[in-house]
């Protein structure tokens, strides 16, 4: 079965090559080819998963060595794959949810003249993400990491005729380059420290490395994770990425790109376990981001940007859990999987609403859509209940475990983290209830002149075609039952424990108390949203609001902060370097050239062609030599 691992990456990679290089002859069937190859990758993943279940726990790690990538003396890089319980979880999630998004895109992109190219980019994205999670060494992981960055740039800026989309793609690409620099330096430091960047040898040698080097590597890996997973301080690109087609938002924000940072930290658990300071930094970043994203999500009227803030917050939960070490690794991945179901379903539901509302994204121009779009309402509603942690649904099982793990950190830090996680749960319930009420309940605000879109027409809401609703139904099913599957008899914990390890910790708060507290804050969040948006008329134009609301609408001033702290000093530095280059380097070069030119001009006057002038020069030179000789003798 090891020989099948490469097919997981090869199938979508071949699809990308054919669709992007095959030309217009594939326009009619390109979307079908891309979807079939994505599904083929998922089928291979299921076969490998079935084979893995039939093996003993100690024999579930499979390796496939393809060839020596960089065979240089003292520097050996192989192109090889490692399939274990952790990577298998990601393979099924990426290929499964990715295939559903491909199917959804058939209907969503039906009238786009560049649909074939879009499916080629989707296939390229899947291939890069699968390479990232299947690599058996950090250098090959880096190749997949960069491939994901390239594909996301192409997808976010797919509608490049819109200046906002082109700008968003560039912003995502540049911000991610900052994080990618951290990963590249971390890999270099690994090689100088361990002499290799293969997972097995690196993790096996961690015990012999100094804590300082492990901390440096861990912090650099965290920087990489912040970029790819949109965590503070590299989170500013995520909201702008909504300029891409909605299937892109679902693909990037649910099960793939933004989860890469969680995978990197969890895969590198041995390094972080040996670097407590780096581990603490991971926890702090996750805790800050889960509140940051939740607050931003509360103030957005754009339905996709509200969900983007939610993604930032939910990934913050995962990063915080991963920073808790063996206490939280399993629960970080569990929440990642459940989030893949309900967040993909929410984004596809948002796309369905936009499809029926002439691409309108302002929730203040929605209202009462549940009777016009019953399937979208039902599937979106189940995703909503899952993300807020409604009892029995998938989010309930995974988020509660993270909150318990936060308290299990112990001491003051445990109480602070647990409280932060509970506050985040309350805010999540608030902003997601707000999204539900603004979109599906209340008066129909899309009627009348005030709600007309940019084209000047009034929307006529309708249900989406089956190619869009069927994937939404499947994801809604996962939103309901995934948590039961993972929590039953601790099956998911037992599945991942051989790879990630697990420690129960020593929580001062019982599981029952945590559940009760979570339900209480959930009800508070829902009630506040209902009082504000369910009982009062919602104006089509947003009121000015408090200073916090205004700041949250501007993403808590993250772009303003970056402009003041990074962009402006960078501009001044660039101008200064330009002046040094122009007046210093160029001035020195031009000055020397001018001096030589001037000297040659003066010497040219001596070459006038008159014999008398040459005779005088010879006489003068002779006189100087005689005088110098006499002077030397006298001395």
- ∠489-94-315 over CA atoms, to 5°? 75
Q: Are 467 and 104 in contact (CB under 8 A)?
A: yes
Mean pLDDT computed over 619-631: 86
Choose the weakest-confidence range: 118-122, 148-152, 506-510: 506-510
* Predicted local distance difference test score (pLDDT) of residue 2: 83
* Predicted local distance difference test score (pLDDT) of residue 620: 83
Of 229, 231, 313, 329, give the one whose Cα is nearest residue 272.
Answer: 329
Q: Which two tokens stand for residue 479?
A: 């939103």
Q: Are 152 and 170 in contact (CB under 8 A)?
A: no
Q: What percent of the chain has a predicted confidence (pLDDT) above 90?
A: 68
Sign of the dihedral defined by the CA atoms of residues 265, 268, 269, 275, in that order = negative
Query: For residue range 522-548, what is the model confidence (pLDDT) as tens digits?
Result: 999 999 999 999 988 888 888 888 888
Query: For residue range 415-455, what is the model confidence (pLDDT) as tens digits?
Result: 999 999 999 999 999 999 999 999 999 999 988 755 555 55
Q: Are 44 and 126 in contact (CB under 8 A)?
A: no
Rg (CA), the chain: 31
203 CB-contact burial (10 Å; exposed 0-12 / middle 13-18 / buried 19+): middle
CA-to-CA distance for 66 and 141, rounded, in angstroms? 15
State the chain's mean pLDDT as an integer. Answer: 91
CA-to-CA distance for 197 and 77, rounded, in angstroms? 8
Task: Pick 453 or 138 by higher pLDDT.
Answer: 138
Choose the weakest-confidence range: 12-26, 321-335, 395-409, 582-596: 582-596
pTM of the model: 0.90
Mean pLDDT computed over 369-392: 96
Q: Which two tokens stand for residue 407?
A: 């308290």
CA-to-CA distance for 261 and 129, rounded, in angstroms? 12
Burial 457-475 (b: 16+ CB within 10 A, else e): eebebebbeeebbbbbebb
Mean pLDDT computed over 18-38: 93
Mean pLDDT computed over 92-107: 94
CA-to-CA distance for 9 and 584, rounded, in angstroms? 52
* Predicted local distance difference test score (pLDDT) of residue 580: 86
CA-to-CA distance for 158 and 163, rounded, in angstroms? 11
Helices (H), 54-198: 85-108, 115-134, 138-156, 163-194
Q: Per-residue confidence at 630, pLDDT binned at 50, 70, 90?
A: confident
pLDDT at 138 over 90: yes
Q: Per-residue confidence at 572, pLDDT binned at 50, 70, 90?
A: confident
Tokens 């209830």, residue located: 433
Q: Following DSSP, what letter does each residue of 142-184 receive, concatenated?
A: HHHHHHHHHHHHHHHTSSTTSHHHHHHHHHHHHHHHHHHHHHH
* Predicted local distance difference test score (pLDDT) of residue 281: 97
């Amino acid at each position: 079965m090891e020989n099948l691992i490469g097919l997981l990456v090869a199938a979508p990679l071949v699809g990308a090559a054919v669709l992007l290089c095959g030309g217009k002859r594939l326009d009619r069937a390109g979307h079908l080819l891309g979807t079939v190859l994505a599904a083929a990758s998922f089928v291979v993943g299921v076969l490998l998963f079935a084979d893995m279940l039939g093996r003993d726990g100690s024999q579930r790690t499979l390796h496939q060595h393809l060839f020596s990538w960089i065979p240089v003396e003292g520097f050996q890089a192989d192109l090889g794959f490692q399939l274990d319980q952790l990577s298998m979880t990601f393979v099924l999630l990426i290929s499964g949810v990715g295939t559903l998004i491909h199917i959804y895109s058939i209907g969503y992109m039906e009238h786009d003249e560049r649909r074939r190219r879009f499916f080629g980019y989707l296939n390229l994205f899947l291939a890069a993400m699968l390479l990232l999670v299947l690599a058996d060494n950090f250098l090959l992981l880096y190749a997949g990491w960069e491939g994901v960055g390239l594909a996301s740039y192409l997808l976010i800026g797919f509608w490049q005729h819109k200046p906002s989309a082109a700008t968003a793609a560039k912003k995502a690409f540049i911000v991610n380059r900052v994080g990618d620099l951290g990963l590249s330096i971390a890999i270099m430091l690994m090689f100088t420290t361990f002499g290799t960047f293969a997972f097995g040898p690196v993790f096996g040698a961690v015990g012999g490395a100094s804590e300082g080097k492990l901390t440096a590597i861990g912090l650099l890996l965290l920087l990489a994770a912040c970029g790819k997973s949109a965590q503070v301080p590299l989170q500013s690109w995520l909201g702008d990425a909504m300029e891409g087609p909605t299937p892109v938002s679902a693909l990037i924000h649910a099960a793939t790109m933004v989860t890469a940072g969680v995978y990197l930290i969890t895969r590198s658990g041995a390094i972080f376990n040996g670097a407590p300071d780096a581990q603490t930094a991971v926890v702090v970043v996750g805790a800050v981001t889960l509140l940051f994203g939740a607050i931003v999500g509360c103030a957005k009227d754009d339905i996709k940007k509200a969900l983007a803030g939610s993604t930032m917050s939910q990934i913050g939960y995962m990063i915080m859990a991963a920073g808790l070490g063996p206490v939280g690794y399993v629960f970080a991945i569990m929440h990642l999987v459940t989030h893949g179901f309900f967040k993909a379903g929410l984004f596809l539901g948002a796309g369905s609403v936009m499809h029926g509302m002439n691409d309108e994204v302002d929730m203040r121009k929605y209202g009462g859509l549940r009777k016009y779009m019953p399937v979208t309402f039902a599937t979106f509603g189940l995703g909503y209940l899952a993300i807020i942690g409604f009892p029995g649904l998938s989010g309930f099982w995974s988020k509660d475990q993270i909150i318990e793990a936060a308290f299990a950190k112990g001491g003051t830090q445990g109480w602070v983290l647990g409280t932060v996680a509970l506050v985040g749960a309350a805010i999540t319930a608030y902003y997601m209830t707000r999204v539900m009420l603004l979109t599906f309940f209340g008066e129909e605000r899309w009627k009348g002149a005030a709600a007309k879109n940019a084209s000047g027409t009034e929307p006529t809401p309708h249900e989406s075609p089956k190619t869009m609703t069927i994937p939404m139904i499947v994801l809604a099913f996962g939103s309901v039952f995934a948590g039961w599957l993972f929590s039953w008899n601790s099956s998911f914990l037992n599945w991942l424990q051989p790879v990630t390890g697990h420690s129960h910790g020593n929580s001062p708060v019982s599981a029952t108390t945590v559940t009760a507290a979570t339900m209480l804050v959930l009800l508070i969040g829902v009630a506040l949203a209902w009082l504000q948006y369910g009982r009062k008329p919602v104006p089509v134009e947003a009121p000015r609001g408090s200073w916090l609301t205004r700041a949250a609408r501007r993403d808590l001033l993250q772009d303003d902060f970056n402009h003041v702290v990074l962009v402006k000093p960078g501009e001044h530095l660039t101008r200064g370097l330009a002046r040094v280059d122009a007046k210093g380097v160029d001035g020195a070069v031009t000055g020397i050239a001018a001096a030589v030119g001037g000297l040659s001009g003066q010497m040219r006057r001596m070459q006038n062609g008159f014999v008398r002038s040459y005779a005088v020069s010879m006489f003068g030179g002779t006189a100087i030599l005689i005088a110098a000789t006499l002077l030397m003798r006298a001395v």
